[in-house]
Amino acid sequence: MDSMATKTAVIAVGGNSLIKSKDKTAVEYQWEAVYETAKHIVAMIQDGWNVVVTHGNGPQVGFILRRNELAAHEVHTTPLDVIGADTQGSIGYMLQQALDNRMREVGVHRAAVTVVTQVLVDKDDPAFQNPTKGIGGFMDSYEEAKKFEEQGWQVVEDAGRGWRRVVASPDPKEIIELDAVNTLVQGNFLVISVGGGGIPVVRDEEGALKGVPAVIDKDRASALLALGLKADLFLISTAVEKVALNFNTPEQVDLERMTLAEAKQYMAEGHFGKGSMHPKIEAVVRFLENGGPKAIITNPENIARALRGEAGTEIVPA
């Protein structure tokens, strides 16, 4: 190992790293996608990095909710915090196995391990009064949506796409298992943590933890983890090679490098889509504002090139 061996990177892999397209959602396709992602992560380890992997879980949560609905007349339904734990286990298992197999193939002697991770949120977070995070599938009519309202869900009409359930997306405050993750990283393990943004929990009056029905933004939680681990790099792996201004217009400009000030300016100017690039840039801004040294946004196949400065968008403090 070279002198970079002590450097730690937190890589947030997007949903596209598991599910490439809407017509390829079956588990065998997820295995193909996760194995492809594993190759790019293991290449970083070969370059001497300690790596902590975080991941999304949106589609998988949707599938479990749908199974709940279809089977409700036979078996109990599952609360959202437990669904979060389920997906951390299943996606973590797939990543673990794919990473282990890839490391064995290339002669890297390390083990991958998944930590089921709880993330503390404030029970008085205003997000609980104003749920905005869409969850599960779309419904064509309010009659269909009303059934969920009667079960205690909030439903909203989504511009032109139908009705959908929404839940709170509170701000992550603390990674409960941070010390465990840190110990594993120091022990040379490849750690998978904060899956799906972490399982949202609050503390009651006695200080005991309790799960809440919410969804934490994966990139925000990953930035918090990267800060907690004092990571040298926060890397967000997504569907595009570079961050762009005026995305999908004739005036599109791909960015190779951005400072923290520029990122904040572009965000204020409305360059980044609320449901796509905006939360990623926001997470990077948090990481850099709180002392993080460097962030990169790129797609999985360009991770190695981005680390050499040949691809992706690098975001630095100044």
pLDDT band for position 141 (50/70/90)?
confident
Q: Work out how many domains the chain is built from and give that number.
A: 1
Per-state percent for the chain, helix, strand, coil, to nearest 5 = 40, 25, 35
**CA-to-CA distance for 94 and 97, rounded, in angstroms?**
5
Residue 135 is assigned to a structural domain of this protein = no
Whole-number percent of the chain with pLDDT over 70: 98
Active site residue 264: no
Q: Can you tell me the mean pLDDT for 145-161?
A: 86
Given a contact cutoff of 8 angstroms between Cβ atoms, the answer to whether 257 and 251 are in contact is no
Q: Is residue 18 part of a domain?
A: yes
**What amino acid occupies position 232?**
D
> What average pLDDT does the segment 246-251 reach?
91
pLDDT top residue among 139 and 178: 178
Give the model confidence (pLDDT) of 68-121 as tens digits. Answer: 989 989 999 899 999 999 999 999 999 999 999 999 999 999 999 999 999 999
Q: Is 15 a catalytic residue?
A: yes
Write the DSSP symbol of residue 17.
G
What confidence tens digit (pLDDT) does each residue in 266-277 have? Answer: 999 999 988 789
Question: Residue 16 has what pLDDT?
Answer: 65
Q: Range of 211's domain?
A: 3-118+180-316
**Cα 144 from Cα 283, distance rounded (Å):** 35
- Please give the pLDDT value at position 3: 41
pLDDT over 50 (residue 173): yes
- The answer to whether residue 186 is domain-embedded is yes
Instruction: For residue 49, tell me if it sits in a domain.
Output: yes
State both tokens at 130.
Answer: 């104003």
| Structural domain includes residue 257 | yes
pLDDT tens-digit profile of 15-46?
767 787 888 888 898 999 999 999 999 999 99
Of 50, 58, 196, 280, catalytic: 280
Examine the residue annotation and report whether 101 is marked as an active-site residue of this protein.
Answer: no
The winner for highest mean pLDDT among 5-9, 47-51, 224-228, 247-251 is: 224-228
Residue 206 has pLDDT above 80, yes or no: yes
Catalytic, out of 14, 16, 134, 292: 16
Q: Which residue in the list 92, 218, 292, 299 is annotated as catalytic? A: 218
How much is the pTM?
0.94
Is the pLDDT confidence value at 159 over 80?
Answer: no
pLDDT of residue 145: 87
Counting Cβ atoms within 10 Å, is residue 107 exposed (0-12), middle (13-18) or buried (19+)?
Answer: exposed
Residue 246 annotated among the catalytic residues of the structure: no
Residue 85 lies in a domain: yes
More confident residue, 255 or 22: 255
- Give the CATH number, domain containing residue 235: 3.40.1160.10
In a domain, 293, yes or no: yes
The tokens describing 296, both together, are 């990169």
Does 175 fall in a domain? no
Q: What is the pLDDT of residue 51?
A: 96
From 133, 182, 198, 292, active-site residue: 133
Q: Is the pLDDT of residue 144 over 70?
A: yes
Average pLDDT of the chain, as a whole number: 93
Q: Is 133 a catalytic residue?
A: yes
